[in-house]
Amino acid sequence: MPWTPEDAPRHTHKADTEDLCEVWAEVANKVLAETGDEGRAIRAANAVVARLRAGRARRETFE
């Protein structure tokens, strides 16, 4: 079952805006499709959101 932006706050407190929640869901679903590993997908999405929030990345990088 794919994740939605509404699922992000349950997995990371750093997804505190609508935009970050959308990015979280996009990354998590993409990694899940590529690997089939839910844990890896969540970790990857959390890492991307953390980098975006810290200003070490731009959203365009992940589209």
Mean pLDDT of 21-35: 96
- Give the domain range for residue 55: 5-62
Residue 61 binned pLDDT confidence (cut-offs 50, 70, 90): low
| DSSP 8-state secondary structure symbol assigned to residue 59 | G
CA terminus-to-terminus distance, the chain: 21
Across the chain, mean pLDDT equals: 89
Q: Rg of the Cα trace of the chain?
A: 10
Mean pLDDT of 13-42: 95
Residue 55 binned pLDDT confidence (cut-offs 50, 70, 90): confident
Domain count within the chain: 1
